[in-house]
Amino acid sequence: MEETLMEKLRRGDAPPALRKAAEEESLPLEEVAGAIVEGKAVFPCNRARSPERPCIIGGGSRVKVNANLGTSSDYAGLEEELEKLRAAVEAGADAVMDLSTGGPLDRVREAIVDASPLPVGSVPIYQAAVRAQEERGSIVAMTPEDMFRAVEDHCASGIDFITVHCGVTMRVLETLKANPRVADIVSRGGAFLAGWILHNEKENPFYEDFDRLLEIARRHEVTLSLGDGLRPGCIEDATDAAQVAELVVLGELVQRCREAGVQCMVEGPGHIPLHQVEANVSLAKAVTRGAPFYVLGPLVTDVAAGHDHVAAAIGGALAAMAGADFLCYVTPREHLGLPTAEDVREGVIITRIAGHAADIARGIPAAREWDLRMSRARKALDWEAQLELALDREKARRLFGERQVEGERACTMCGDFCAMRFISHFLGKEEVPVCE
C-alpha cells in the first residue's frame, strides 16, 4: 500500500508542493513537516489530484479561510456553483467545500474539483442521504454500505478533505436527550446520522467502522475533517454537555488517525457567546492534543441575520487568536437562504479580515508588515498605494472614487482639516509626499 503524506514526512521526504507552500509562508520546512507528523497541521491534497494552490492548515501557518459552495433542492444550477467558485477564488479563499444537496450531485462536485485551484472538501453523507431519499424513500433507510460508498466516491473523484460526523454516537445522543436544547441539531450531516441512529437503533457506522474510513482516507490521501454534528445552533445551546461529549469522542478518533498515518482536523462551533470563545478553542486544542481546529464562525449572537458574516467574523477573529487554524466563512445570507456569488465574495473578504487580524495577534511577520506598508501609504496620503494595499481593492477603490473631490489631497472625511497632513510640519517632518 502506498505511503501517506504523514509517513513520507516521517522518513524526511517532503513533496515539492509542501516545500513551496512552506516557503510561501516563510516557514521552515522542518517545522511544517514536524507539525504534520505530530498531527498539529494538515496539508489536504488528494493523491489523484494536486490542487494548484494547496495550503497548510495549522502548525503556525497563516489562518486559512474556507468558502462553502453547493446547491440545494431550491437552487441546483451547475453554472451558479462555478460562478460562486470563481468568486471565492478571486476574493482570496484558501479552500472551498461543495455542500450540494440538489441537482446532479456528481456532476457538480466533479466540475468544482476540475475547476478549483484550491483544495476542495465535501460532506459525503449528504450524497448518501439524498440518494437514500430518492431511491429508498427516506434518509433513514440509508445502509452503512450507502454511506461508505459515498465516501469512496468522493475520495475517488479527487476531493482533498471530507467532513465525517463520527462523533455522533448512540451514547452522545443519550447525552443530548438528557440535556434538551432549543435548536437540537443544526448540522445537516449530524442530523442525518442522528436520525439514522435513533430510527435504526444502531451505532453510527462512521464511528463503529472508523477503521474502514481510515483505510479509504489512506488510500486516497484524503484529510478527514471530524465534523461536529452536535455543534450548538444558538447561543443558548453553546458549550453544553452534548457538544463537549462529542468533542471527547473526536479527541479519541484524532489519536487513531495519527496512528494510521491519516491527516485529520477537528470541526468546531457554531454559535458561541463571546465570553466562551477562547475557552472553546482551548478545550478543543487540549482534548485533541493540538489538532488543527476548523470553526464555523463562531457566531457571537443569533440576531444578526443579514449580517451573520460579521457576527461570525467577531467570533472567528477571537477564535483564531486563541488558536483556531481554519475559519469557515459565513455569508450575509446565512440563516436566510442559499448564498449568491456576491454573498460568497462578501463572506470570503470579511472572514479574511478576521483571519488577518488574528494573524497579526499571533505574531505572523508578513501580516504585521502588510499593515505597516498600508500605514506608511496612509501617512503619505499616497492613495494609489493605499488602494492597492487594501485587502478588498475593488471596494476600497469604489468607495474612495464615489466621494473623492477633484484637487483634494486628503480624503473628503477631513478635507482641508486633515490631521495627518497638518501635524507633520509641527513635528519637524517634511511636507507629506503625495502622489498626484
Long-range contacts of 197-202 (CB under 8 A, 24+ apart): 197/168, 197/169, 197/170, 197/173, 198/173, 199/140, 200/140
What is the distance between the alpha carbons of residues 365 and 181, in angstroms, rounded to a whole number? 43
Handedness of CA 182, 187, 191, 193 (dihedral sign): negative
Question: Could you say whether residue 175 binds a copy of itself (CB under 8 A)?
Answer: no
Which lies closer to a copy of itself via its Cβ, residue 6 or residue 97? 97
First and final C-alpha spacing in the chain: 64
Residues 6+ apart with CB under 8 A from 93: 65, 66, 67, 118, 329, 348
Q: Per CB under 8 A, which of residues 298..327 are in contact with a copy of itself?
A: 300-307, 310-311, 313-314, 317-318, 321
Least distance to a copy of itself, CB of residue 348, Å: 12
Least distance to a copy of itself, CB of residue 17, Å: 28
Which lies closer to a copy of itself via its Cβ, residue 257 or residue 317? 317
Question: Could you say whether residue 188 binds a copy of itself (CB under 8 A)?
Answer: yes
Q: Per CB under 8 A, which of residues 25..64 are in contact with a copy of itself?
A: none
Question: Could you say whether residue 399 binds a copy of itself (CB under 8 A)?
Answer: yes
Question: Could you say whether residue 413 binds a copy of itself (CB under 8 A)?
Answer: yes
Least distance to a copy of itself, CB of residue 113, Å: 22
Q: Which candidate, 343, 340, 344, places its Cα nearest to that of 77?
A: 340
Which lies closer to a copy of itself via its Cβ, residue 54 or residue 347? 347
Beta strands 293-296; 326-328: pairing state:
parallel
Which lies closer to a copy of itself via its Cβ, residue 187 or residue 225? 187
Q: Per CB under 8 A, which of residues 198..237 are in contact with a copy of itself?
A: 198-199, 233-237
Please report which helix (H) or strand (E) contains residue 331, including its range.
none
In the numeric block, the cell 473623492 is attached to 404
Least distance to a copy of itself, CB of residue 350, Å: 6
Q: What are phi and psi of 295, to 5 degrees?
A: -105, 150
Compute how many residues bind a copy of itself; rule: CB under 8 A: 111
Among 19, 412, 434, 435, binds a copy of itself (CB under 8 A): 412
- DSSP label at residue 429: P
- The 135-174 contact track toward a copy of itself, x by CB under 8 A, reads ----xx----------------------------------
DSSP per position, 233-256: SSGGGTT-HHHHHHHHHHHHHHHH
Question: Could you say whether residue 338 binds a copy of itself (CB under 8 A)?
Answer: yes
What is the distance between the alpha carbons of residues 206 and 403, in angstroms, rounded to a whole number? 56
Residues 6+ apart with CB under 8 A from 339: 68, 84, 331, 332, 333, 347
Among 349, 364, 381, 382, binds a copy of itself (CB under 8 A): 349
Among 279, 372, 434, 435, binds a copy of itself (CB under 8 A): 372
Among 65, 353, 364, 381, binds a copy of itself (CB under 8 A): 353
Which lies closer to a copy of itself via its Cβ, residue 422 or residue 433? 422
Question: Could you say whether residue 78 binds a copy of itself (CB under 8 A)?
Answer: no
Upper half-sphere CA count for residue 265 (Cβ side, 13 Å): 30
Question: Could you say whether residue 400 binds a copy of itself (CB under 8 A)?
Answer: yes
Among 104, 117, 415, 433, binds a copy of itself (CB under 8 A): 415
Residues 6+ apart with CB under 8 A from 109: 98, 100, 122, 154, 157, 159
